[in-house]
Structure 1
Amino acid sequence: MFSSLLALAAVAAPVQEAPASDSVVITADRLIDVSTGRVIDRPVIVATGGRIVSIVGEGTSRPVIPANARRIDLPGKTLLPGLIDMHVHLTSNPKYGGYTGLQFTDSFWIAQGVGNAERTLRAGFTTVRNVGSDGYADVGMKQAIEEGWVVGPRIVPAAHALGATGGHCDETFLPPSYNRKSVAVGDSPEELRRRVREQRKYGAEVIKACATGGVFSRNTEPGVQQLRLEELKAIADEAHFWKLKAAAHAHGADGIRAAIEAGFDTIEHVSFIDDAGIRAAKARGTFLGFDVYNTEYTLSEGEKNGVLPENIEKERRVGTIQRENFRKAAQAGARMIFSTDAGIYPHGDNARQLAVMVRFGLTPLQAIQSATVNAAEALGRSGDVGTLAVGRYADIVAVEGDPLSDVRLLERPAAVIKGGELIVGEGAR
């Protein structure tokens, strides 16, 4: 694999033609090719305009380095691609559970979400998929980050999540007198097709739908299906027609199988998946995103944060079963992505899930792959993120030591680079 990267490096566009100030050279002791687990000694990465134009290791041809290029030297460090979390809610905050969030005005959530975005990036997550927010907040945050007004990761926004009236993705906490209804609910295949088009129109780059009930809504059961097969098919088909990926929130076995049959690209939570669901996911190539870290946080901190007793009890019932089913899916060789549900626990702690994934059946390399190459493929972004290779963004996380032996090293990155700019590390601005 890495030899092919070196071959690409040899034919990369001449970096001398780019302005020197737009080029950066990154060096370290080691680089992990996450596709294979191979360790490359003494890597030298040259990036121009935020993308890698050459990458070589010890004993290979010397790179062409532009005059006056900036340098980021990371002696003693190991380089990996910037990590990808496929399931975050940047405008959510676990400190405000249940009804406690009603004390704030609507714009409070995006304002505090700016800090969440920066914490996420500084934790080594250079790309996230934000699967649901109110008021197209994730679209706005993406735009503000790209314009340079806000520091944060690359965001793939879903805007509003689709669901059934009274389901997990509807407003379920308020009485009828408030007449609150989520923007993207629908109760027929054609109505839900329109909702897909609306979300895309206003900036969604992935479509999320709630196929079953959930833990943190009222009057819904996680195991109970809430969208019919024909409705799920309409959502996935319309998303794919518009060249978007589709993600299904699905805890229950029936809803998981229906979402897989409907053609969803990823299944989120996956708590009660059965053997038939695992077989179907493998046959279809569907990615599974188990959020196996956040249970301890909810059970230890939820009551203090205002989470209602019924929601804590649902988490208690779901957590253990979900982790055992994660183990079964891992043993069966299902395709895994790194999905944490950040916002249910504090943003910036995302990497803590890697060790839980290892505890329940993945190797450290497989856990890292779930947050790099697998996630990039599930996004349809393998040409941009997920690996360190020519043409990809110069999004890099550096750690002390060997994360293939101790994946918890990724919980405390020594350096984080996004698009060739040092975000965390000595000399970071």
Structure 2
Amino acid sequence: MLLIKNGTIVNPAEKQHEVGDILVENGKIQKIAKEIPVPESDVEVFDAKGLVVTPGLIDMHVHLREPGQEAKEDIHTGTEAAAAGGITRVATMANTKPVIDNSAVLRDVQKRAEDVGVVKVSVIGSISKNLEGKQLSEMGDMAADGAVAFSDDGHYVENANFMRRAMEYADMLHKMVIDHAEDMTMCGGGFMNEGKVSYAMGVTGRPAAGEDIAVARDLLLSELTGCHIHIAHVSSKKAVDLIREAKRKGVNCSTEVTAQHLYFTDEWLKDYDTAFKMAPPIRSEEDRQALIEGLRDGTIDAIMTDHAPHCNEEKNVPFNCAPNGIAGLETSLASTLTVLYHQQGFTLDRIVELMSVNPARLLGVEGGVLREGAPADITVFDPEKEWTVHGEDLYTKSLFTPYENITLKGKAVLTVVDGEVVMKEGKVLK
């Protein structure tokens, strides 16, 4: 039994924002009230005075790398990192080895997550066999076995007609398609955002137009098919404008942004630091401000990490040779609070919507709400706690983080999954 007392409960799905207590028993929320007496029976009491208590955070876009790439990350270390960051559920992408393109691999990942996962793991199946964009994956079987969505993330589906058929099939299965929107005929040879910084550095760029063209095409395909298209890790101003207009027209679409795209700009890459190398790339200050405005007006639905760790020796190479991707699970909440809450004046309720309520709704999974009788997935954080990031102190296998030596404001202090405390005061307990 767990009793969380005196915390500020921020629970936007129930329109609740007040100081109160939460009693947890047998994996469920037993009671939420302004004052709950401490039971006489054995109970762990956590005093959350001055802290914020929310529904468990959900990251709908991560790469746990297992099976096949466990040197980069595995399900245990990746979910440890999630717990450390206050995240109670992640959705892992399909670009493993072998690819999650059939039910056998999907069930294997689910079983591994049940056995060693510290937090809950939902699985995203691929759109195409082996991510090649030529033959449909076993979408029907994977949907029946619990795939929450379909994506060839890391690869853009270049063939428009193939993407149309995939979206028609996904729509029949009532699943969304998550779209890595970068036209690789424009972006494939680039290493960072194309612009004045890349020109000055002498680095070949990935133009924002490559993202914009891909987003425009797939919004049109969504309009044609009716399929829910979810634009992954949006990064450009024009792409935000396109999504905003599509939503205004009633197109069945949604989108997400990473915490790092909200914090950094391409100006941070001047030292050729591979910790900043990702796809889509970190773009200009104009793009960053457009992302913030997209969150403010509801165009962008969710904040996630695109947690994509690599072996340290893979990143410790010349900039153009390094793979795209960073570890982000342990810095996402802190980075978001620093930028949106402390700098931009976003409410905590809006941040919880973006990091819990909306991801649960989009994935169609339990969560995003604190309610009596619901699973006790709970995050407690201190929005005022300042801490300095050091890669060597993180739970992820990847030591490379763009936040190295940066002081952020806000930190998770308790993570509860199905009533079990899996992280307390920065230490993962499971």
Q: Structure 1-normalised TM-score?
A: 0.67
SS of 2:151 mapped into structure 1 = strand
* Aligned twin of 2:44: 71
Asked if residue 278 in structure 1 is aligned to residue 262 in structure 2, the reply is: no
Q: 1:296 to 1:139 in 2, by over 3 A?
A: farther
User: Partner of 1:183 in structure 2?
Assistant: 130
C-alpha distance after superposition, 1:294-314 (max 9, x if no partner):
57499559955599xxx6797
- The answer as to whether partners of 2:243 and 2:253 remain within 8 angstroms in 1 is no
Contact 1:142 1:155 in 2 (8 A): yes
Paired AA for residue 185 in structure 1: E
Bigger mean CA offset, 353-362 vs 118-127:
353-362
Structure 1 residue 107: deviation in Å?
A: 4.9
Q: Distance in 1 between matches of 2:45 and 2:229?
A: 37
Structure-2 separation of matches of 1:314 and 1:46: 41
**Structure 1 gap ranges (5+):** 1-22, 93-104, 164-181, 214-224
Counterparts of 1:28-427 in structure 2, within 5 Å, are 28-35=6-13, 38-48=16-26, 50-58=27-35, 68=41, 70-76=43-49, 77-91=51-65, 106-109=68-71, 112-134=74-96, 135=98, 136=100, 140-147=108-115, 150-159=116-125, 161-162=126-127, 183-187=130-134, 191-192=135-136, 194-197=137-140, 199-200=142-143, 204-209=147-152, 213=156, 226-228=158-160, 230-251=161-182, 252-261=211-220, 262=222, 263-272=227-236, 273=239, 275-282=241-248, 283-284=250-251, 286-293=253-260, 296=264, 300=269, 305=274, 315=281, 318=283, 320=285, 322-343=287-308, 344-346=325-327, 347-354=329-336, 355-357=338-340, 359=343, 362-381=346-365, 384-400=366-382, 411-425=410-424
Amino acid at match of 2:21: P
Question: Helix, strand or coil: the match of 2:281?
Answer: helix
User: CA distance change for structure 1 residues 353 and 90 in 2, over 3 Å: closer, same or farther?
Assistant: farther
**Which runs of 5 or more residues in structure 2 are unaligned?**
183-210, 309-324, 386-406
- Would the aligned equivalents of 1:86 and 1:129 in 2 still touch at CA under 8 Å? yes
Q: CA deviation at 1:125?
A: 0.4
Whole-angstrom CA distance in 2 between matches of 1:34 and 1:342: 26
Q: Offset at 1:208?
A: 1.0
Q: In structure 2, what residue type is equivalent to 1:87?
A: H
Write the deviation string for residues 234-264 of structure 1: whole angstroms up to 9, x where unpaired: 2233223234332112252232233334223
Structure 2: distance between partners of 1:385 and 1:203? 16
Change in 2 beyond 3 A, CA 1:371/1:68:
same
Structure 1 vs Structure 2 CA RMSD: 3.9
| Letter aligned with residue 70 of structure 2 | F
Q: Percent identity?
A: 17
TM-score, length-scaled by structure 2: 0.66
* Residue deviations 1:159-188 (CA, integer Å, cap 9, x gap): 4x436xxxxxxxxxxxxxxxxxx713233x
**Aligned residue pairs, count:** 343
Task: Give the Cα–Cα distance (whole angstroms) in 1 for the partners of residues 55 and 117 of structure 2.
Answer: 19
